């Protein structure tokens, strides 16, 4: 009989808890917050597009860096670093100097991986 009362009391408390209404919390999204998120998404798309190029991926694999790991690291970069990286990629000349673009991206990825402690690239210095 005690077990039935215990179960009934728990069920009653559960039903009473279902009746409580939790108010929704909504707030206005500021213009700066919105623009900041749009800028980050645009910068991430620029860098990600550069990392998805075949020549960049071949260089990364040739140097022993996993492409998906590099993309995840770029996605976790702070906003300022991501903006600088995207800006540097956009400012680099196109066409015949694509080797410099690839080397610049690889150097930046190595620096990011070194700073985050993922790999020990510059151990000799």
What six digits make up the tokens of 124?
Answer: 């000799």
Number of helices and strands in the chain (H, E) = 6, 0
User: What is this structure's pTM?
Assistant: 0.48
Q: Report how far residue 47's alpha carbon sits from residue 83's, in angstroms, rounded to the nearest whole number.
A: 9
pLDDT of residue 98: 61
Q: For the chain, which residues make up each domain, given as ranges?
A: 27-116
Residue 112 has pLDDT above 70, yes or no: yes
What lies within 8 Å, CB to CB, of 85 at 6+ separation is 43, 47, 74, 77, 108
Q: Report how far residue 122's alpha carbon sits from residue 18's, in angstroms, rounded to the nearest whole number.
A: 58
What six digits make up the tokens of 108?
Answer: 């930046």
Averaged pLDDT of the chain: 78
23-54 pLDDT, tens digit per residue, is 777 778 788 777 677 788 888 888 888 888 88
| Cα dihedral 91→92→94→98 (10° resolution) | -160
63-100 pLDDT, tens digit per residue, is 888 888 888 888 888 888 888 888 888 776 555 456 66
* Average of per-residue pLDDT across 3-20: 81
Q: Report how far residue 113's alpha carbon sits from residue 67's, in angstroms, rounded to the nearest whole number.
A: 12
């Amino acid at each position: 009989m005690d077990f039935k009362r215990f179960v009934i009391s728990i069920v009653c408390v559960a039903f009473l808890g279902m009746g409580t209404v939790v108010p929704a919390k909504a707030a206005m999204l500021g213009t700066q917050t919105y623009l900041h998120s749009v800028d980050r998404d645009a910068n991430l798309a620029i860098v990600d597009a550069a990392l998805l190029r075949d020549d960049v991926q071949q260089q990364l694999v040739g140097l022993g860096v996993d492409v998906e790991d590099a993309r995840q690291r770029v996605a976790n970069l702070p906003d300022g670093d991501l903006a600088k990286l995207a800006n540097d990629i956009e400012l680099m000349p196109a066409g015949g100097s694509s080797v410099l673009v690839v080397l610049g991206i690889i150097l930046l990825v190595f620096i990011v991986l070194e700073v985050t402690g993922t790999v020990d690239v510059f151990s000799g210095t």
